[in-house]
Structures are given as C-alpha cells and as structure tokens.
Amino acid sequence: MAERKKKTTTRKLTAEKAPDSAKYEAMFLFPPPGTTDVDGMQKAAQGIIERHGGKIIFIKKWDERKLAYEIKKQKRGTYIVAFYEGPGASVGAIERDVNLSEDILRVLVTRADHLSQKEMEAVEPQPIQPREERAPWDRPDFNRPMRGGDRGGDRGPRREEAAPAEVGAGEDKE
C-alpha cells in the first residue's frame, strides 16, 4: 500500500508541471485603418492571443502596405506584429479564430525562441525598394505585332519544298 501512494504522488508532481510554452511571433493582417483604428486592431490581436492562453511580450503596428493580391476584396492592409509566450496548442486555435473573424484578413504565427526582448522591440519593416527600370530594348513592345506566329520568332523560316503531287504536274508524258 505504501508503494501505491508513492506512485500517485509522482504522478501528481508530473501533472503539476507547467505546460510546455514557447515564444511565438504572430503577424496579423487587418484591413486599412478606415474601418477600425490602430488601437482597436492591437486590442483585437491581444484579445485573441490571451483568449488561448498566451501572454503578450510585445505588440505594435508594423506597417501599412499595398498587398500583392486582393485578400477578401482588400487591396491594402495594416500589419500588427505581436510577440507572445504560450502553449503550442494556441497556434492552431489562434489561426482558427482569425479564419472565423471578419475583422482580420490573415495571420502568420512562427516560433520566436531565438529572439531576445531587445530584438523583438527592434523589429521594423524593410523599406519598399523601387523597381529597377529596364532598358528599352529589354522591354516587350506590345504595340508591335509579334513575329513568327505563336512562338515569338524562335525558329527560322520554313524550307520551301515541293509537295509530292506537284512534282509531276508540269511535265508532258508522251
């Protein structure tokens, strides 16, 4: 009977350990600030994270940018970056909540165990680089008709050969 109590106490100790938690970076994409203010966006992101057992380390507005393609009929978006500590199960739950939410367009959650507090606070968006102008001879000229049919002129001209039916057509047989 003494052995049995010993086993149950060791089980209790292992059950009382804190759940495995890690640091995560969550990048939320909101519609442009015309619909909601930036503070409201940060509170929405913070609420979703805290609802699923996460503890906010640092949260801020990252940038507002033109999107590469439309997402839910939006051409621009505001990014909110949040660093938090929480259980691994929170990642899937946060993504599910964002997919069900109409106020948030997307979220991307990655592990951030390698970042220190100072590095988290120093996160800044990269400046948008202007596109390099191409030389006029490198640019396609859409006003000029294409040469060579649908292949764009990658083949030479066709050989002129007489068809087999035409070979004997010009000769007289006597």
pTM of the model: 0.62
pLDDT for the residue 141: 65
162 vs 145: CA distance, rounded Å: 30
List the chain domain ranges: 19-121
Percent of the chain with pLDDT over 70: 67
pLDDT for the residue 123: 80
Q: Given a cut of 60, is residue 37 above it in pLDDT?
A: yes
Q: Given a cut of 70, is residue 18 above it in pLDDT?
A: no
Percent of the chain with pLDDT over 90: 34
86 vs 102: CA distance, rounded Å: 24
Position with higher pLDDT, 131 vs 99: 99
Q: Given a cut of 80, is residue 63 above it in pLDDT?
A: yes
Using one digit for the tens of pLDDT, what is the confidence trace for 105-141?
Answer: 999 999 988 888 888 887 877 777 777 777 766 766 6
Residue 4: CA count within 13 A, CB half-sphere: 1
The CATH code that applies to domain 19-121 is 3.30.70.60
pLDDT for the residue 28: 94
Residue 46: CA count within 13 A, CB half-sphere: 12
pLDDT for the residue 17: 35
Structure tokens at 93: 């739950």
pLDDT for the residue 126: 73
Position with higher pLDDT, 10 vs 163: 163
pLDDT for the residue 125: 76
Q: What does the H/E/C string look like for 63-127?
A: EEEEEEEEECCEEEEEEEEEEEEEECHHHHHHHHHHHHCCCCCEEEEEECCCCCHHHHHCCCCCC
Tell me how far CA of residue 113 lies from CA of 21, 38, 50, in angstroms.
Answer: 10, 27, 19
15 vs 30: CA distance, rounded Å: 39
Of 46-50, 62-66, 130-134, 166-170, the poorest mean pLDDT is in 166-170
Burial of 17 (0-12, 13-18, 19+ CB in 10 A): exposed
pLDDT band at 50 (very low <50, low <70, confident <90, very high): very high
Q: Given a cut of 90, is residue 29 above it in pLDDT?
A: yes
